[in-house]
Structure formats: structure tokens, C-alpha cells
Chain A
């Protein structure tokens, strides 16, 4: 039976994963009640763990250094309480070679506008998607908060033919954005750096 993480962990973790996000994005990330997310963020702000800032026209929340440390402490405690550290460590190992493939495919699409390069990259990302499904299943057997990455990655791949921004774009839920978020999730959970 997979473990469901409590809202106060998920609300802070959402800020870690999204990097910089407004309340509705944070609530949507783990399907939390916005009022709950607000309460968690306000308490975290009092502890100096999150800040609310404006960049150009948008406003959002991000973690401070202290917030990152608290987030990692919560994740580590949960990982060990549930006995999932070995699984997450192994998944991270299996993730790394795929990470090379994804970065190379995204870069190829960015640097070469020809259709052939795009098709080649798409095929590689498509193989990664199949592997991602398996990795995610292993993670979700222990912690259900890891759900969603494969569906988002596969959707991005599907939409990429209509709109190439879905390969590496930053303002849509692109393959690169989803993948990078999973990478952040794994390293935060394990308390390591890239």
C-alpha cells in the first residue's frame, strides 16, 4: 500500500519542484485545497522558509535556503519512515542515463530546425517515455506523491507535433520541464545535488 504524504509536506515540496509558482499552481501540483496551501506557506514564511516575490509582471512563491533544507529534512524523514530509500536511490541511478538522452534530444531540437532532427529526437523521447512509466511505477509503489510525471511527459510528446514548445519550452508543461521537475524531485528526496 503506497504512502500518501501529508499536505504540509506536499505544499512546501510543490514550491521546491516548481521553483517559482503562484498559489493556484502550487495547489494544483498535488491537488491540494488552496486554503491549506496558503496556511502552510504563511507558516513557512514566518519561519523564513519561503518568500513571495515579483518578477516582471508575475508574482509567486519560492523557497529560501532555509526552506530547501526544511523540505529536504521532511522528505528524508518520510523516506526512511516508509523504508523507500533503497527504491528511490535505485530509481535515481536508472534515471541518470535517461537524463542524458532527454537533454541531448531537447538540445537537438533547439539547435537543428530540420524535420529529420525533430523526428529523431521525438523517437528518443518516446523511448524514454516508456522507461519513465516503469520508473514511476516503482516509485509510486512506495510514495504516491511521485504520480503524474509519465502522463505529463507523454502528453507533452503528443502535443509537440502541433507545437514544438512542448519539447523544451519553459512556459508550457514541456518534456524538458516535466523531466527536470522529476530530476529535482529525486535529488531533493535523496538530499543530493546534481
Chain B
């Protein structure tokens, strides 16, 4: 039960099905196979020979393909597998990482749910065995901006294999590519292109050295310069948009550059939006003029115009990038979270609606900030630090 990725369909799990579609549409997807049953040693030997080098072994998700499948690190990935016996073991580990136990538990304890495959006994997750790209630069890209939902592509990139970015191990470079060449507010363009960028510290890299995976420190000059040239940034943005075009709906892609080639490694629909990478470094000094203090509810630090909203009747005043300042939130307010850059509520705690939804959207939030609405005038630029729990005036 081994199928080339080029022929993967829904029965191969969500991840493989999407890779199959991308492959058939001409995207540069590394060669690989989907494995639907335990692999024999001879089959593993043949797979390695066919793929010509070290492989990545990944779970493909449950056979029931959901339009919203995204796995948030829950399923297994094994990188840099070289020996046939290790391929056999990696396949078993990934195949077991699905939710077989849960299906049974659910069926016993909770009663029936639509579409439950409880009766089928199919506990085994399909597994992808794919050639591992020896990436020089790799990372992820959202085909839409997770903060505010604008049409910009947001790219996180770092040296070496993309695992450094995916796992949050390094602070990557971030590039924001607007759709029609319009400038985004308040940042310096890179070269002539209206792309905004922030260079991250990119302190270490993971590389395939022969047949070993090794993590090493990045040399200082490479930490302080962007790891992607403007042409490469544009190519990754185009790749993300093309994936969205093919698969329908915003995509969260993993990509890798090796030599002249840009590879598409994974694509999944954007459902839960990511936490921001701009977490306040502990060594940053506290702000000079704090307007309000609350419980840190969602990390990150942003600046934007404060928008005082007293109730649903005030929603029309909110603009993309505003800092929402209000007493409390409820389901009617959720659409605002898509637009604003941060949320400050006077009531509530880290478990309240504003906290949970802000985290889902990956925007900074502080809650229980008594008096916040009286502490700032509407439209005044503020800095919200969701890691520290402060709303302050900018220091400059």
C-alpha cells in the first residue's frame, strides 16, 4: 500500500492529498510516497533508493479529509531518516500519531457525532515519506496577513531547514508583501519594492550534513542581514498566492530554497491564526509613560491608534490596525478582532472572550485594565505590550 505523492487523494490524508494536488498542478514538490500500511524492510530500502537520499517522514492526517485540517504540531514528523530500519520505525511512529484511541473513547462516552468513523476501525494515519530538501533558507508563509486579515503575504524565513521556523526555535526574518505594490504604513521599504521587512536574530540553523542532522550557530554577519533577497521574497510570495489559488482559501505553506530551486514542502488551510513572533525581549526597558496596566492575555507588542468603542453602535469607527479599547467583548465583537492590531479591555482575565479570541488571531491583548478607556483619547497612538500587560504612549 505505497502510492506516489503524484497520485495521492483524500484517502491518503489531508496533507498528502494537498501535496498530490500541488504536484499534479506543476508545483515543485519533493518526490515522495504515501504509505498506507506498515512498511517491510525491503520496501523501505526501495523507497530510499527511489528517493535518492535522506527522507522526511510525516503523518498525513486522518483519512477523513476535512476542509479545515491543520495539525498544529500534534502529528509526528521525523527528519533526516537514512537507514531502511529507521524508515520502518519512523513510519510506524507517524502512523500511530492519529486519533484512533480517541475515536473509540468518543464513541463510548459522548454519543454519536456526524461523520464519525468509529465503526471503521481505521486507526492508522497515512504517512508521507519524502525526499528531504537540503535547504539553505527555508520557512513558512501565509497567503494572507494573520494580523488584520489583509491581502499581504507574510513570510517568516531563516537559514537552514524550515524546522527552525516551524518549531519557533529561532526569531526569523519577517517579510510582508502587499498585493498591488501599495506601501503598508509606518515601515521602511526594502530597496525599491514596497515590501516591509524585519530582520530577526536567526541565531541557529539545522542542516543535513551528509546523513546527519546538525544544529549549529549562525555566524554574526548572517544574523544581521536578511536571509532572502528581494527576488526570492517575491518568489515565495507568488508561491503562497499560487497555492491559495489552487487549493482555495488562505494557505499556510512551508517552503525551502536549495540552490536555484524553490520547493513547496507543505500547504494547509489557515484556520487557527498564529501567535505573533514579536514577543517583547526581556531586556527591553519598560515604557516611559504607561496609560493603563492589565493582565497579559496574548503576547506581542504593537503600536496603533487607540479606538474607544463603547458598544456595538461604535463598531463603524474601527479601522484596520487600530488598537481596540473597550469595556468587554462578546460574539458580536469577534469581527473587529480580524481588523485591529491589539485589544485592551477594562474587565476580564486571561480566560475571557477577548483573551481567547485575541490569541486565536495572534494579536496582543491586555485585559482587566481598569480605567483604560478614560486614560487615552480616541485616535491617540499607543503601544500595547501583551507580554507585559501595558498600554503606553510611544517612547519617541
The verdict on B231 contacting chain A, using a C-beta distance below 8 Å, is no
- Residue contact A20 to B334, C-beta cutoff 8 Å: yes
The verdict on B379 contacting chain A, using a C-beta distance below 8 Å, is no
From the candidates B70, B320, B353, name the one contacting A180 in the complex (CB within 8 A): B353
- Give Cα distance in the complex from A177 to B337, angstroms: 14
The verdict on B68 contacting chain A, using a C-beta distance below 8 Å, is yes
Q: Which residues of B contact A122 (CB under 8 A)?
A: 102
- Residue contact A19 to B336, C-beta cutoff 8 Å: no
Using A164-B74, A169-B360, A170-B360 as known contacts, say yes or no to A20 and B113 having CB atoms under 8 A apart: no
The verdict on A78 contacting chain B, using a C-beta distance below 8 Å, is no
Using A64-B312, A65-B313 as known contacts, say yes or no to A154 and B113 having CB atoms under 8 A apart: yes
Q: How far is the CB of A40 from chain B (nearest CB, A)?
A: 18
Q: Which residues of A contact B66 (CB under 8 A)?
A: 159, 162-163
Give chain A interface residues in 17-33, CB to chain B under 8 Å. Answer: 17-20
Contact flags B131-153 to A (C-beta < 8 A → 1, else 0): 00000000000000000111000
- Residue contact B111 to A100, C-beta cutoff 8 Å: no
- Residue contact A56 to B109, C-beta cutoff 8 Å: no
Q: Which residues of A contact B109 (CB under 8 A)?
A: 126, 130
How many A residues face the partner with a CB closer than 8 A?
54
The verdict on A53 contacting chain B, using a C-beta distance below 8 Å, is yes
Q: How far is the CB of A91 from chain B (nearest CB, A)?
A: 19
Q: Which residues of A contact B14 (CB under 8 A)?
A: 162
- Residue contact B320 to A56, C-beta cutoff 8 Å: yes
Q: Which residues of B contact A184 (CB under 8 A)?
A: 330-331
- Residue contact A154 to B71, C-beta cutoff 8 Å: no
- Nearest to A15 among chain B residues (CB) is B332
Q: Which residues of A contact B113 (CB under 8 A)?
A: 151, 154-155, 158
Q: How far is the CB of A118 from chain B (nearest CB, A)?
A: 7
Q: How far is the CB of B149 from chain A (nearest CB, A)?
A: 5
Using A107-B355, A169-B360, A170-B357 as known contacts, say yes or no to A180 and B338 having CB atoms under 8 A apart: no
Q: Which residues of B contact A62 (CB under 8 A)?
A: 312, 315, 332
Using A100-B351, A103-B352, A165-B271 as known contacts, say yes or no to A154 and B111 having CB atoms under 8 A apart: yes
- Residue contact A20 to B110, C-beta cutoff 8 Å: no
- Give Cα distance in the complex from A16 to B352, angstroms: 19
- Give Cα distance in the complex from A169 to B315, angstroms: 22
The verdict on B361 contacting chain A, using a C-beta distance below 8 Å, is yes
The verdict on A194 contacting chain B, using a C-beta distance below 8 Å, is yes
Q: Which residues of A contact B82 (CB under 8 A)?
A: none
Q: How far is the CB of A94 from chain B (nearest CB, A)?
A: 19
Give chain A interface residues in 112-151, CB to chain B under 8 Å. Answer: 113, 115, 118, 122, 126, 129-130, 133, 151
**Which of A107, A129, A168: most chain B Cβ within 10 A?**
A107
- Give Cα distance in the complex from A115 to B105, angstroms: 17
- Nearest to B117 among chain A residues (CB) is A158
Q: Which residues of A contact B339 (CB under 8 A)?
A: 55-56
From the candidates B61, B62, B69, B361, name the one contacting A170 in the complex (CB within 8 A): B361
Q: Which residues of A contact B328 (CB under 8 A)?
A: 194
- Can you list 5 pairs linking A and B with CB atoms under 8 Å apart? A18-B331, A20-B335, A163-B70, A163-B71, A168-B356
Chain A residues with CB under 8 Å of chain B are: 16-20, 53, 55-58, 60, 62-65, 68, 100, 103-104, 106-107, 110-111, 113, 115, 118, 122, 126, 129-130, 133, 151, 154-155, 157-159, 161-166, 168-172, 176-177, 180-181, 184, 194
Chain B residues with CB under 8 Å of chain A are: 14, 61-62, 64, 66, 68-74, 98-99, 102, 105-106, 109-111, 113-114, 116, 148-150, 271-272, 311-313, 315-316, 320, 328, 330-339, 350-353, 355-357, 359-361
Q: Which 6 A-B pairs have the closest CB atoms?
A: A19-B331, A161-B99, A19-B332, A103-B351, A165-B271, A165-B272
